Amino acid sequence: MLFVLPFSSFGQISLDSIQQYHQENLASIVLLKNESRLLPFNDLSTTSIAHLSIGDATKTTEFDKVLQQYTTVKSFNLPLEATGNQAGEVFKYLINYSDVTIVSINEILETGYSPILEDFIRDLSKRVDLVYTVFGKEELVVNFPYIDQAKAVLYTPNTNLYTQSLAAQIHFGAVGAVGKLSQNIGSAYKVNDGIITKGQLRLGYTQPELTGVNSEFLGQHIETIVQEGLDSMAFPGAQVLIAKNGQIIYQKDFGFHTYNKKQSVRSSDIYDLASVTKVTTAVPALMRMQDDGLFDVDAKLANYFPAFKGSDKGDLYFRSILAHNAQLKPYIVYWKQAQKKNGKYKGRTFKTKPHRNYPVKITDGLYLHKKYKGKIMNFIKSSPLNKEPGYVYSGLTFLMYPDLVKEKTGKRFDQYLYNTFYKKIGANKLVFNPLERVNSNEIIPTENDDFFRNSLVHGTVHDEAAAMLSGISGNAGLFGNASDLAKLLQLYLNEGSYGGERFIKKSTIQDFTRCQFCDEDNRRGLGFDKPLIEYDAEKSYVAKSASKYSYGHSGFTGTFFWIDPAEDLIVIFLSNRVYPTRENRKLYTMNIRPRLHQAVYDAIYDFDKLKQQEANNKSNDKRYDEGK
């Protein structure tokens, strides 16, 4: 969890007490000023945000930690008696790279503020929009230097972790500001002052009980299941995130990057999402392009890929293709196609050193010819169709969608996704080729590849086909963590909107996430997976309780997410089960994913039982009091 209430479970304290604690803390936070409706922040792609803590930074660590969950926020701290050098370095960064600086203050200097700090604040307020978040004594709202120049001022007398989290969430619209002053503060702010803002614009963070989930049951069962996987070496580490009713109610990191146990998994670390890439890159791109009139899911393949005209695939409809109902082969081992019978690579395929004709880096000692991509497309075109119709999972066309996006939008696939979706929703760690943007110690390694790359795959895509396409594909190649993945999934659950902006039409989301060919015994949506039409515990990787409206996807590396609109629920499990080898199938044989998924539903049902039990206890207490 990102914060801890002074109680950990429903069983220890009543639901009424939990709700009261939440309401009291939320009501204590008052938005006193909000010029140009700066709060909550809108399009995160156009606003660079920094956080400057003035005073004792240890008193606002939870505030800073929650701010970081919403977008990239650069953090600084200045003590009340900062030196000129300290202030100068911070000032230089903020005026050059920050559009908005959130200034949190929690201490009063009894002898007055230093000239250095006063000059710093005065000059900064002229160059950058400042949002003050004041914790503690109300005198800070009146006496802190140049606070009247701020664009927005948020105040709370509380400094507990829960209030810090709520204050951060108000900045991004996950929670709305509702507080009113109970007394005057100076001459500027009067009793009952307080600006109301919208909430539920972005994912929030709250206690599970406030969404109808038993936190004690949830935590115990998830941790038991994941620990079984760790102890059995089904995977070295994992991230688990659960969101309900637009609120993250559980988020925990488990284990290590590898079995040497040198580096613990952190929430900022990113995993190779494998085939989860399909429904987080190609599918949202196609949905948006359909909304923009650039793509029609009921068109034929040859309409957008003329090279397939006249082939046995040209007349295949995208609706059938995306539902894996078009008789396409599951996969082609493209790197094997470049090998001779003796195992050596054919001429003009691979070289051991980079060259202008061999620019595609597979490893430091293996580079692919620039025209081999054309061969991959020819392999797809000439591959035989399955003899029998029906559901067969196929990733072939997902290798082709980046070219379609480039042709129709004029933007490279990864750039289109980043600018259209990821950056705007604050999912800055959903990335292709992460070594270009992320430190290697934040990337979870996948497999010790001993047949193609002959090295540890770390920071480059695990999927061989995507690797041969420079790591950018609709089939695989996206990396991310549970936090940022959850933002995109909440966009889906919101039926196309997030952060107050609509990204995809509601009707488009509904079409892509419904079962397309149920009457042909095919459970799939368009790209998305769906529950089995008839549940079979031996075949399903999702919970038995998942509704027919639910959808999601899994990934070969050990990744999984599932969305259930019936329960307003998102469940994410990320692991690197292929480390050190893909032969490790314990994630499957131990049923880690369906058991974990079912535990979430059981925690919802268990909450209902406890709620009824509490109601019965109240009724019994009342009858007892009346009988005395």
pLDDT of amino acid 620: 57
Residue 274 lies in a domain: yes
pLDDT at 523 over 80: yes
Phi and psi at 593, nearest 5°, equal -65, -50
144 shares its domain with 48? yes
Average pLDDT over residues 438-454: 97
Half-sphere exposure for 189 (CA within 13 Å, toward CB): 22
| Residues 396, 278 contacting (CB under 8 angstroms) | no
99 shares its domain with 246? no
Q: Write the DSSP string, 88-133.
A: HHHHHHHHHH-SEEEEEE----TT---HHHHHHHHHHHHHSEEEEE
Residue 78 lies in a domain: yes
Residue 5 lies in a domain: no
351 forms bridges with which residues in the sheet?
A: 367
Number of domains within the chain? 3
pLDDT of amino acid 3: 44
97 shares its domain with 246? no
283 shares its domain with 348? no
pLDDT at 1 over 50: no
Tokens of 531: 């529950």
The dihedral over CA atoms of 8, 9, 12, 14, expressed in degrees to the nearest 10, equals 120
Confidence of residue 113 (pLDDT cuts 50, 70, 90): confident
pLDDT of amino acid 8: 47
Q: What is the 3-state secondary structure (H, E, C) of 379-448?
A: HHHHCCCCCCCCCCCCCHHHHCHHHHHHHHHCCCHHHHHHHHHHHHHCCCCCECCHHHCCCHHHECCCCE
242 shares its domain with 372? no
378 shares its domain with 236? no
345 shares its domain with 471? no
Average pLDDT over residues 184-204: 97
Average pLDDT over residues 257-286: 98
pLDDT of amino acid 81: 86
Confidence of residue 108 (pLDDT cuts 50, 70, 90): confident
> What would the pLDDT profile of 564-581 be if each residue is shown by its tens digit?
999 999 999 999 999 999
326 shares its domain with 346? no
Average pLDDT over residues 474-479: 98
> What would the pLDDT profile of 538-567 be if each residue is shown by its tens digit?
999 999 999 999 999 999 999 999 999 999
391 shares its domain with 447? yes
pLDDT at 531 over 70: yes
For the ranges 25-39, 77-91, 441-455, the lowest mean pLDDT is seen at: 77-91
Q: pTM of the prediction?
A: 0.96
Average pLDDT over residues 517-537: 96
Calculate the alpha carbon distances from 261 to 46, 196, 251, 254 in Å: 40, 48, 21, 11
Of 357, 382, 407, at which residue does a domain stop? Answer: 382
pLDDT of amino acid 15: 85
Average pLDDT over residues 277-285: 98
Residue 33 lies in a domain: yes
How far is CA 215 from its chain centroid? Answer: 22
pLDDT at 4 over 60: no
For the ranges 68-82, 280-294, 297-311, 474-488, the lowest mean pLDDT is seen at: 68-82
326 shares its domain with 444? yes
Confidence of residue 77 (pLDDT cuts 50, 70, 90): very high
CATH number, domain containing residue 146: 3.40.50.1700
For the ranges 4-18, 373-387, 418-432, 521-535, the lowest mean pLDDT is seen at: 4-18
Confidence of residue 626 (pLDDT cuts 50, 70, 90): low
Q: What is the mean pLDDT of the chain?
A: 94
pLDDT of amino acid 90: 96
Residue 372 lies in a domain: yes
Q: What percent of the chain has pLDDT over 90?
A: 90
> What would the pLDDT profile of 153-172 be if each residue is shown by its tens digit?
999 999 999 999 999 999 99
pLDDT at 618 over 90: no
pLDDT of amino acid 622: 53
CATH number, domain containing residue 486: 3.40.710.10
Residue 544 lies in a domain: yes
Residue 219 lies in a domain: yes
Average pLDDT over residues 71-94: 94
Residue in the structure block whose two tokens are 């969305």: 563
For the ranges 56-70, 104-118, 366-380, 609-623, the lowest mean pLDDT is seen at: 609-623
pLDDT at 483 over 50: yes
Compare 60 and 442 and report the one with higher pLDDT.
Answer: 442
> What would the pLDDT profile of 363-402 be if each residue is shown by its tens digit?
999 999 999 999 999 999 999 999 999 999 999 999 999 9
Residue 617 lies in a domain: no
pLDDT of amino acid 10: 42
Calculate the alpha carbon distances from 286 to 15, 246, 283, 628 in Å: 44, 25, 5, 69
Q: Which residues contact 410 (CB under 8 A, 6 or more apart)?
A: none
Full residue range of the structural domain in which residue 450 is found: 215-251+266-332+383-605
Compare 146 and 613 and report the one with higher pLDDT.
Answer: 146
341 shares its domain with 316? no
Q: Which of 174, 130, 173, 181 is nearest to 155 (CA)?
A: 181
Average pLDDT over residues 250-255: 98
CA distance 85 to 215: 47
| Residues 381, 399 contacting (CB under 8 angstroms) | no
Tokens of 589: 């044989």
416 shares its domain with 327? yes
pLDDT of amino acid 368: 97
CA distance 315 to 212: 49
pLDDT of amino acid 621: 57
Of 161, 179, 202, at which residue does a domain stop? Answer: 202
